A and B are shown apart, each in its own frame.
Chain A
């Protein structure tokens, strides 16, 4: 363990956090609004959404499938349940039908031989594109045609948003974020209170709402509403680095339920304040909290002209990994064998493979890779919002067994993750299966292994590329 053992605990442990979230999620279902539009309008809007989101790339992928079935080897939901309806190739069928009827080069023919999409088709699609696809992209790794099925699934999520068929938990959060701008009630006021709590109880300063700062750090609803330890750890690490950083109360939320539900407008809307805040304070670096999907929501947001932004966006593990490589983090060695789980959104679909490993190496960790790692990592089963869906519990539980086998094969006692969603899902699996592994967050692990904490609120900003 760390040379500086956590002195006293001001926030609940993560398994307590998990329990709290589980009860909150239960309430979400009742908060979801029922569909408001007539059936025909919902179907029409779903089809229109697919038409609007289809470019040549999607068309080529839809055309390319030869139904060779190899993707079934890659999908954790299929492999865990053996249920053929979860075969990834099935998850593009409805999209292909719409494409063939509406945009395909032979659409005049397909309109004669295929039937139009009905609401019941879209209802049946819900389970395929929400419950049983975490958009992890592992099927793309085996597909001989290299079809990016995950992106096609995502377009269908957009269509189901238009058809008012988002699963209730996601819908409730989407509505909350759309109309109130918060997730689980995590407002600017909550941020201020938590910053105060951390200052008062842990004596750690979090520079909130500074006019100018080199580094802007995001938080996430999970940290703000439950796991205060996460924000505390982030603050400790940032202060240790001595960089000129801040959190903006008008742009702090990593979580993006626009992306998770498939609501493109909300995705775009949610990104706006963050970018505006970063530009206003003149940030050079935007650090995204450990919230997997926030990485594609911001860093890989195709609607955001990343090349023209005056700042660089990095995932927490990426940022810390670079600092470690540059020798700016002084860390104590970590004991015991551990393994690292690449969150799908930052790993295979984000490319941040080496930085977290460099970070663990800086702690001289006995890192053993899982049999399938990096690009081939198995999803934990809880990504892309699935952790929130009660109906998907069986799918999550069964697919988590694959993850457990992978971790068990390493002989590690600890599995390190760098995504709140993965971590919640691992925690759920750990508790249900009485699994004897520890699940650690990367940033919290780093915070626990810092050598001689520097004074808070350093005024010696580190300049240069990594800052």
Chain B
């Protein structure tokens, strides 16, 4: 079995199994916990439902904080959008998703994929540079750096495989797939889970504040 066969076969297979198991485990392990009841009378009868808007409204900083969070907002948006383009725009990735789910859609020309990959990597570097330069503000733990590495690795190896840099193409491809497998396997355990938590966290706070008639 070559490295590529291992990567495409058991490695990605088991990492997906770990990811699915882990995500559901962690989500349910939290969401099935007891629900605290706020028995106080809401400011207006159906006001609490307005709290759910926070899930969407918090996607953008409010005017008050636009200046102070500008760098982070720009870099975080740059990273997330570019990564999204890379993940769902490049034909090999679409093919991979097709093999998993059966769904398929047209891909982008390679130049866009490379551009988005470089953008994602650059913004990721910009984010970690800030994290490293202000350790006191960010209060980072090893998991933050590990998550960063695990996220950066598929981007670096993917670009290298595409550009035929470093090792032979199929070895780079195998390393790229292995790095993606590591990302999948790590996903449920670190802060990457914010991909799910943000919905619940924002909704909860939105509802807590809407209960008192406050829009956050």
Contacts and interface: CB of A to CB of B under 8 A. Distances in A.
A390 B93 CA distance: 60
Interface string A446-460: 000000000000000
B43 interface: yes
Contacts of A349: 209, 212, 214
B138 A69 contact: yes
A60 B40 contact: no
Interface in A142-156: 142-148, 151
Interface residues of B, number: 57
Contact of A89 (B30, B72, B139, B216): B139
Interface stretch (B112-120, B160-168, B199-207): B199-207
B202 A145 contact: yes
A379 to B, nearest CB: 14
Describe B's contact surface by its main secondary structure.
helix
B134 A141 contact: no
B30 A69 contact: no
B65 A93 contact: no
B110 interface: no
B6 to A, nearest CB: 27
A68 B58 CA distance: 15
Contact of A148 (B136, B141, B200, B204): B204
B51 to A, nearest CB: 10
Contacts of A142: 61-62, 64-65, 68-69
B28 to A, nearest CB: 7
A306 B138 contact: no
B197 interface: yes
Contact of B198 (A140, A144, A306): A144
Interface in A59-73: 59-61, 63-70, 72-73
Query: On chain A, which size bracket covers the interface?
Result: 35 or more
Given A146-B201, A351-B43, A55 B30 contact: no
B54 interface: yes
B68 A60 contact: no
A141 B137 contact: no
B103 interface: no
Contact of A60 (B69, B138, B200, B213): B200
Contact of B204 (A60, A73, A93, A105): A60
A57 B36 contact: yes
A5 interface: no
B41 A306 contact: yes
B216 A63 contact: no
A285 to B, nearest CB: 13
B194 A64 contact: yes
Interface string B125-165: 00000010011111111001000000000000000000000
A94 B69 CA distance: 26
B37 A302 contact: yes
A350 B212 CA distance: 6
Contacts of A90: 139
A64 B195 CA distance: 9
Contacts of A58: 36
Given A54-B33, A64-B197, A141-B64, A146 B137 contact: no
A84 B137 contact: yes
A435 interface: no
A192 interface: no
Interface in B159-216: 189, 191, 193-194, 197-198, 200-202, 204-206, 208-209, 211-216
A38 interface: no
Contacts, number: 170
Contacts of B68: 70, 73, 142
Interface in B65-99: 65, 68-69, 72, 76
A353 B43 CA distance: 12
Given A55-B34, A145-B197, A87 B205 contact: no
A339 B170 CA distance: 68
Nearest to B211: A300
A90 B34 CA distance: 25
A55 B138 contact: no
B138 A67 contact: yes
B216 A140 contact: yes
A350 B204 CA distance: 16
A11 to B, nearest CB: 33
A353 B215 CA distance: 11
Interface in A344-369: 348-351, 353
Contact of A56 (B31, B43, B141, B208): B31
B39 interface: yes
B62 A141 contact: yes
Contacts of B140: 67
A175 interface: no
A301 interface: yes
A306 B139 contact: no
A465 B197 CA distance: 41
Contacts of A306: 39-41
Given A299-B40, A372-B64, A147 B137 contact: no
5 contacts: A56-B33, A64-B201, A69-B137, A146-B54, A146-B204
Interface of A: 54-61, 63-70, 72-74, 84-85, 87, 89-90, 93, 103-106, 140-148, 151, 299-307, 309, 348-351, 353, 372, 375-376
Given A56-B36, A146-B198, A147-B201, 15 more contacts: A55-B36, A56-B33, A57-B204, A60-B31, A63-B26, A63-B197, A65-B191, A68-B138, A93-B139, A106-B29, A141-B216, A142-B69, A299-B40, A302-B37, A306-B41
